[in-house]
Structure 1
Amino acid sequence: MNPRTKLTTTQAARYVGLSKRQMERLRDNGAGPTWFRAGDSLNSPCMYEVADLDMWVKARKGAR
């Protein structure tokens, strides 16, 4: 998969093996992978780049 590919929260959760709710909690706590809003509105979806997800997973593996 292209590292610049953007995923929704649901897709990102599936990619890293977590539930959507776990991803939302991590985002709310500032403990999850880097994310961004796909627009300027508060209703714009939160998105994740595959490269950021890969780096986050790799960092978590090293911390165990």
Structure 2
Amino acid sequence: MNSDDTDIEEERYLTEREVAELTRLSTRTLQRLRQNGKGPAFIRLSARRLVYDRSDLEVWIKAQVVGAI
């Protein structure tokens, strides 16, 4: 398998669109969460490019759990 065949689940850094697909949130919702400081941690690569580290996304998702089992 070469790097072109790498599945999204194997990627460490995810685009906003990939995060939206994985979380089933819209990209606009992710943008609002970012603006309010309530979304997952992200890395700004340039003025127009940002990515999310998969491990940071997993931590953020786990932090959204409400209620105890």
Fold match (TM-score > 0.5): yes
RMSD: 1.6
Query: What TM-score, normalized to structure 2?
Result: 0.74
* Structure 1 gaps, min length 5: none
Identical columns (%) = 36
Report what 2:3 is aligned to.
none
User: Computing the radius of gyration over CA atoms, which structure comes out larger, 1 or 2?
Assistant: 2
Q: Which has the higher contact order (CA 8 A, sep 6+)?
A: 1
After TM superposition, the score normalised by the length of structure 1 is: 0.79
Unpaired runs of 5+ in structure 2?
1-8
Equivalence for 2:39: 32
Q: 8 Å contact 1:33–1:56 — kept in the other structure?
A: yes
| Contact persistence 1:34–1:52 (CA under 8 A) | yes
Q: How many residues align?
A: 59
